[in-house]
Structure 1
């Protein structure tokens, strides 16, 4: 999934990072540092499994990264983009019952791995989440600045 998400992110100038399970504090501190380096409010779109561990992993990640960012005077917001209960209901993907041995609280009646979402559906979900946060006017301004810069370079190169 990561290469696909990297490609989608690049279309919008957004970085994609993948964690492995319950990341340690060093990984979470690194995520906060990347968010802080942007110098403005940062949104983090999260894709993860919908199960006992996935829900707790998201909460732990968000809590720790936000705490690191706040300590540095920055603002970070997390949004769970996939897999959601609504997507489970509408995407017709294979599910499993929650693990009977799971000790973490979980209100879901079924679980699903993020990898079970078909690539085209996953791409649409991610694009829609990104678009929901974009300001079209800011995007148009950036495109106009880019074109003006290209034209200035062309003029300089032409002599």
Structure 2
């Protein structure tokens, strides 16, 4: 089972355009996700034989690093109680991406209470939409059985054509 989560609710529409063709729903916690949302994710994980893999996009800053960590820990703990397994994969923004794409940075706030080891912060919005789309598509496709995915698309198209023919006068 595969899900796409993002730190910011403002990014969900952009990510939904990328995830929709794969049948994925984008979820946003708008910061530190609620326990009820994490518990629901754990129940989804427990309902499948395969682990729930959560792809995560967020800022490279103290909160952006700790949000997915807290998400992963809490969902994994809830899922374990219900017999599920989880994995979290950080898709964006990473320190490597800051270097590779020469993203703008800002110094971390010295008043932050969370530990943060990156040399500077970078917002998710610093990634151009095409690069973010490529990163997300790659992360999704690396975890899908593309042959099965293509088969499902072909079957959907055949069923749609059959229905349209049946509706013709």
TM-score exceeds 0.5: yes
Smaller-chain TM-score bracket: 0.7 to 0.9
- Verify: 1:137 aligned to 2:147, yes or no: yes
- Verify: 1:102 aligned to 2:109, yes or no: no
CA distance in 1, matches of 2:27, 2:104: 26
- Contact persistence 2:16–2:25 (CA under 8 A): yes
Q: Where does 1:1-159 land on structure 2 (aligned, <5 Å)? A: 1-37=11-47, 40-150=50-160, 153=163
Shift of 1:133: 0.9
Flag structure 2 segments of 5+ consecutive residues without an equivalent. Answer: 1-10
Report the number of matched residues: 159
Decide which moves more: 12-21 or 93-102: 93-102
Shift of 1:3: 0.6
Instruction: Pick the structure with more helix per residue.
Output: 1
Instruction: Go from structure 1 to structure 2 and tell me whether the alpha carbon gap of 1:155 and 1:41 turns closer, same or farther (over 3 Å shift).
Output: farther
Decide which moves more: 119-128 or 24-33: 24-33
- Contact persistence 2:42–2:82 (CA under 8 A): no
Decide which moves more: 59-68 or 39-48: 39-48
RMSD (Å) for aligned C-alpha atoms: 2.3
Flag structure 1 segments of 5+ consecutive residues without an equivalent. Answer: none
Shift of 1:87: 0.6
Instruction: Pick the structure with more strand per residue.
Output: 2
Shift of 1:103: 2.3
Shift of 1:94: 1.4
Normalising by structure 1, report the TM-score.
Answer: 0.86
Shift of 1:99: 1.6
CA distance in 1, matches of 2:120, 2:68: 18
Shift of 1:42: 2.1
